[in-house]
């Protein structure tokens, strides 16, 4: 299967994975053949992309970071928390802990988890989907840094709740894609401190988790907000969440901006953000991210075209590539770039150019 942007969907394509809405209902089930009316509905709902069954890769699955069930439980728990907060009530800390424990248990029970950047969320539930992603990515990074389960839970709770302060910010401002006035930007920035205050006042949540909400927009060179803390003053937990928050924001399919591919995100995090984010954490984080996720169409340095069908955890920039043959040769040929030192990936072929290379 592969991810196809909604604007590139065509009637007749088959859905590979169920598409859930924020409330847990299934909008489209796996196996459904797309009709024009369905595609229209996806557009109306601002759903940016869909997983479809790829005829070129019928046997290749994109592994999930966490199960749909665990993801939904966390999304719904966060949604309930936000509802409680907006009503002026305390949120259910026990439920939050349970949702995060499940994510920690699932991630720590798997070996060699690799992030495949395969999350799809609808625009209207961006905060929920984004926060659950940030939670999984932060826990995964904490695991690589040798954290124990208790630390992973505190980190995960802070990550899940890092943006709860957004409930106090005017939705119209939050959904504005660009051109915020100084006043509006100041309003958005308030979500960090307000989130901290909300989480801090909740019984049963550690102050570490509350400080993640407070500090997740701080930058190690002091250029962040709300307090302009430097790296020495920031919690390591908050530095982790800062890295994965930036990563998830620049790689997700927000409707108004084209998502970046993982290799582009790596360049941004390594170069542009070098002064602002903890470089060691960026490095550790990228040990878990498939730079070329399964299903990516690539051009090799030999000029051959192929599709990534597996990744090597030991060297994520050298995946296994299945070559696309020009003739009718049905024999499958795969090159493991980790064991073919002279060959590397020269370019990634984006979806819009895909038809020029295959199925022609
Ligand atoms: Fe935030």
Q: Mean pLDDT over residues 313-342, rounded?
A: 84
Task: Please tell me the CATH superfamily of domain 2-52, with its number.
Answer: Molybdopterin biosynthesis moea protein, domain 2 (3.90.105.10)
Sign of CA dihedral 147, 291, 19, 159: positive
User: Where does the pLDDT of residue 173 fall: very low under 50, low under 70, confident under 90, or very high at 90 and above?
Assistant: confident
Taking the centre of ligand 1 as the mean of its atom positions, its distance from the CA of residue 231, in whole angstroms, is 18
Taking the centre of ligand 1 as the mean of its atom positions, its distance from the CA of residue 93, in whole angstroms, is 20
Q: Where in the chain is the domain with CATH 1.10.3210.10?
A: 68-286
User: Where does the pLDDT of residue 196 fall: very low under 50, low under 70, confident under 90, or very high at 90 and above?
Assistant: very high
Q: pLDDT, tens digit, for every residue of 246-274?
A: 888 777 655 445 667 777 777 887 776 77
Could you tell me which residues are beta bridge partners of residue 20? 26
Taking the centre of ligand 1 as the mean of its atom positions, its distance from the CA of residue 40, in whole angstroms, is 32
Taking the centre of ligand 1 as the mean of its atom positions, its distance from the CA of residue 28, in whole angstroms, is 30
pLDDT at 81 over 50: yes
Taking the centre of ligand 1 as the mean of its atom positions, its distance from the CA of residue 303, in whole angstroms, is 42
Task: Please tell me the CATH superfamily of domain 68-286, with its number.
Answer: Hypothetical protein af1432 (1.10.3210.10)
pLDDT at 25 over 80: no
Taking the centre of ligand 1 as the mean of its atom positions, its distance from the CA of residue 230, in whole angstroms, is 17
Taking the centre of ligand 1 as the mean of its atom positions, its distance from the CA of residue 242, in whole angstroms, is 9
Q: Return the pLDDT at 37.
A: 92
Residue 40's Cβ-side half-sphere holds a number of Cα atoms within 13 Å equal to: 3
Count how many residues are written for the chain.
360
Taking the centre of ligand 1 as the mean of its atom positions, its distance from the CA of residue 49, in whole angstroms, is 24
Taking the centre of ligand 1 as the mean of its atom positions, its distance from the CA of residue 58, in whole angstroms, is 39
Taking the centre of ligand 1 as the mean of its atom positions, its distance from the CA of residue 14, in whole angstroms, is 36
Q: Return the pLDDT at 153.
A: 97
Taking the centre of ligand 1 as the mean of its atom positions, its distance from the CA of residue 307, in whole angstroms, is 35
Q: Mean pLDDT over residues 142-170, rounded?
A: 95
Taking the centre of ligand 1 as the mean of its atom positions, its distance from the CA of residue 283, in whole angstroms, is 22
Taking the centre of ligand 1 as the mean of its atom positions, its distance from the CA of residue 217, in whole angstroms, is 6
Rounded Cα distance, 78 and 61, in Å: 29
Helices assigned H by DSSP within the chain:
36-44, 68-86, 93-109, 126-144, 149-160, 171-175, 182-200, 207-215, 236-251, 262-267, 279-286, 354-357
Rounded Cα distance, 53 and 31, in Å: 8
Taking the centre of ligand 1 as the mean of its atom positions, its distance from the CA of residue 189, in whole angstroms, is 8
Q: Taking phi first (over 0 means left), then psi (-120 to 50 degrees means alpha), and beta for anything else, what does residue 253 get?
A: beta
Could you tell me which residues are beta bridge partners of residue 3? 51
Q: Mean pLDDT over residues 93-100, rounded?
A: 96
pLDDT at 212 over 90: yes
Q: Return the pLDDT at 261.
A: 72
Q: Return the pLDDT at 255.
A: 46
Taking the centre of ligand 1 as the mean of its atom positions, its distance from the CA of residue 266, in whole angstroms, is 20
Identify the residue whose tokens are 């075209």: 305
Taking the centre of ligand 1 as the mean of its atom positions, its distance from the CA of residue 252, in whole angstroms, is 15
Taking the centre of ligand 1 as the mean of its atom positions, its distance from the CA of residue 59, in whole angstroms, is 39
Structure tokens, 296: 């990516």
Q: Mean pLDDT over residues 6-31, rounded?
A: 83
Q: Where in the chain is the domain with CATH 3.90.105.10?
A: 2-52
Taking the centre of ligand 1 as the mean of its atom positions, its distance from the CA of residue 165, in whole angstroms, is 8
Q: Return the pLDDT at 165.
A: 94
């Amino acid at each position: 299967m592969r991810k196809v942007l909604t604007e590139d969907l065509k009637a007749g394509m088959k859905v590979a994975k169920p598409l859930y809405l924020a409330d847990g209902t299934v909008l489209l089930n796996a196996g459904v053949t797309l009709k024009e009316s369905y595609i229209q509905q996806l557009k109306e709902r601002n759903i940016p992309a869909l997983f479809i069954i790829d005829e070129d890769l019928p046997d290749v699955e994109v592994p999930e970071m966490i199960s749909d069930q665990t993801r939904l439980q966390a999304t719904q728990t966060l949604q309930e928390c936000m509802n409680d907060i907006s009503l002026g009530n305390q949120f259910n800390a026990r439920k939050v802990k349970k949702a995060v424990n499940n994510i920690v248990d699932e991630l720590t029970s798997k070996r060699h988890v690799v992030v495949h950047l395969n999350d799809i969320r609808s625009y209207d539930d961006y905060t929920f989907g984004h926060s659950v992603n940030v939670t999984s990515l932060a826990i995964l990074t904490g695991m690589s840094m040798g954290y124990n389960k208790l630390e992973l839970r505190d980190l995960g709770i802070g990550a899940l709740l890092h943006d709860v302060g957004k409930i106090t910010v005017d939705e119209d401002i939050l959904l504005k894609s660009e051109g915020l006035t100084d006043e509006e930007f100041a309003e958005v920035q308030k979500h960090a401190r307000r989130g901290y205050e909300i989480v801090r006042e909740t019984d049963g949540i550690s102050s570490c988790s509350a400080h993640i909400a407070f500090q997740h927009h701080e930058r190690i060179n002091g250029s962040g907000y709300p307090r302009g803390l430097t790296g020495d003053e920031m919690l390591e937990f908050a530095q982790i969440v800062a890295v994965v928050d930036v990563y998830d924001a620049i790689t997700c399919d927000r409707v108004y901006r084209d998502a970046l591919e993982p290799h582009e995100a790596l360049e941004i995090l390594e170069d542009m953000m070098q002064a602002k984010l903890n470089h060691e954490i960026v490095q550790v984080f990228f040990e878990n991210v498939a730079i070329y996720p399964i299903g990516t169409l690539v051009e090799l340095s030999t000029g051959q075209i192929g599709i990534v069908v597996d990744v090597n955890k030991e060297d994520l920039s050298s995946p296994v590539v299945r070559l696309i043959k020009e003739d009718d040769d049905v024999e499958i040929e795969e090159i493991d770039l980790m064991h073919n030192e002279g060959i590397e990936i020269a370019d990634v072929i984006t979806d819009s150019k895909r038809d020029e290379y295959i199925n022609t």
